[in-house]
């Protein structure tokens, strides 16, 4: 899905004239024993449109996953904001942001986000650079994801 969002197209889909509705299906075959197997790889055709920087695309994907996990727990946008901030605070601090990522299993594991990646996400979410994420920044960067460009360092 991430590669597709970057404009890459499966050569298999192109050759078989699949539509977007068909593209989500896994392509499989049967081995010599009759067992169903997934395809090992699919050649991707290069996108013909200009792509975003990988760093900003990666961040959008992580923020999208973050939002999905918040919604999966049946949180509304205001409840999600409350989940991310400390009690009796009106903004999200880095410490509560990190704790929320850990509760959602996005950090704290060998396959999770590194400290550097977590700090980079924080830097991108804290648009005005004041050290906290207010409700407007939360909506813009995490919940609605309208901000694909991030501040220059």
- What is the DSSP annotation of 49-66? SPPPPHHHHHHHHHHHHH
- In the predicted model, what is the mean pLDDT of residues 29-45? 63
- What is the DSSP annotation of 6-27? TT-EEHHHHHTT--HHHHTSPP
What are the residue ranges of CATH 1.10.238.10 in the chain?
54-143
**Could you read off the pLDDT of 41-60 as tens digits, one per residue?**
555 566 666 655 556 678 88
From the options 1.10.540.10, 1.10.238.10, 3.30.830.10, 1.10.260.40, give the CATH code of 54-143.
1.10.238.10
What pLDDT is attached to residue 46?
A: 61
**Could you read off the pLDDT of 76-109 as tens digits, one per residue?**
889 999 999 988 889 999 999 999 999 988 887 7
Percent of the chain exceeding pLDDT 70 equals: 60
Closest CA to 122 of 145, 89, 96, 104: 96
């Amino acid at each position: 899905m991430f590669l597709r969002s970057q404009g890459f197209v499966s050569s298999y889909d192109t050759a078989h004239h699949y539509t977007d509705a068909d593209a989500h299906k896994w392509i499989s075959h049967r081995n010599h024993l009759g067992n169903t197997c997934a395809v090992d790889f699919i050649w991707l055709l290069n996108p013909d449109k200009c792509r975003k920087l990988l760093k900003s695309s990666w961040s959008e994907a992580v923020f999208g996953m973050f939002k999905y996990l918040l919604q999966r727990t049946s949180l509304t946008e205001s409840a999600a904001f409350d989940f991310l901030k400390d009690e009796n605070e009106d903004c999200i601090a880095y410490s509560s942001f990190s704790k929320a990522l850990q509760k959602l299993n996005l950090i704290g594991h060998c396959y999770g986000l590194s400290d550097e990646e977590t700090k980079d996400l924080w830097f991108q979410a804290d648009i005005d650079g004041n050290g906290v994420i207010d409700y407007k920044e939360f909506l813009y960067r995490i919940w609605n994801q309208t901000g694909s460009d991030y501040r220059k360092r």
